[in-house]
Amino acid sequence: MFKDIILGYYRSPSLGNKIQNYENKLKKDLRWWTFSSFAILFVFFTFFFSSLINSLNTPIKTKDFKSNTANPNLVYSISSTAKHNLKPGDIISYTLKIQNISNLPQRTNFEVNLSDVLEYADLVDGADYKESGDKIYWNQDTINAGQSERKIFAIKMKEKFPALKKQGDSFDCIIKVNFGNELAYPVKCPISKSIETFINQLSSYSKFKTTAKNILFFSILFAISVYMTLRTNLLYKEIRYFKRHLGDFNNAR
């Protein structure tokens, strides 16, 4: 189109209207492709950060099931008062429950490993448990047939979370407690730690495959949009240059 205008101008100076219309079209196209480029970037980063936030804010839903202990007559479960992202200074209460589903009395064994919890929190004094390393436990007792027993303990989130982990799978910005079923709640970590956690989650092949496809799709769209923006911008500058130098063309004629 641009070449036709340049060549045609020497044959017909009446192409002025056509030149003006073409300039207006290029101006509209330039606005459209520029908008498209920013829109694609916005959608991409919205997708990325929404995935990041969802991965950190979604507690793991669990249900009661029989513990893998030697006693199949007991059902172990745990619940807590946590309702949101855990922040420094939060106090959370956990309730351990053992239910006897048999027709005979059974001996209890309340014991829970808090190695992951103690990365982010400290135990609150006041409960009747005993401590052994990263574990807490209660003296054994007897539960009658069809009855259940509960134990309660509380933790207080540290005012400042550590920058380094103490064990392999700890400090992943998720606090976990397992007692028959597992409770997992997101911790409000620094943004640098959150990004690291999100990237580590991509090690799962299915998640990585889906994410890679989305990134590739957005990259192709963005590349096309940028190319069209640059191309349209170049044509727009050329047509404006041509209009500014109409006098020179007339003199050349």
- Summarize pLDDT for 94-108 with one digit per residue, the tens: 999 999 999 999 988
The DSSP letter of residue 187 is: B
Taking the C-alpha atoms of residue 232 and residue 24, their distance in angstroms, rounded to an integer, is 12
Please report the pLDDT score of residue 40 as a whole number: 86
Token pair for residue 20? Answer: 């003006």
Which of 63 and 120 is assigned the larger pLDDT? 120
Identify the CA nearest to 138 among candidates 182, 99, 97: 97
Give residue 27's pLDDT.
86
What is the pairing mode between strands 121-123 and 74-80?
Answer: unpaired
Instruction: List pLDDT tens digits, range 48-73.
Output: 777 666 655 544 444 444 444 567 88
Q: Give the Cα separation of 124 and 156 in Å (integer).
A: 6
**pLDDT surpassing 90 at residue 219:** no
Nearest residue to 161 (alpha-carbon basis) of 186, 180, 143? 186
Total-model pTM = 0.51
Which range is least confidently modeled, 122-131, 149-158, 211-220? 211-220
Q: Is the pLDDT of residue 133 over 70?
A: yes
162 pLDDT higher than 90: no
Q: Given the structure tokens 């540290």, which residue do they identify?
A: 158
The reported pLDDT for the residue numbered 87 is 87
Task: Find the mean pLDDT for residues 229-239.
Answer: 87
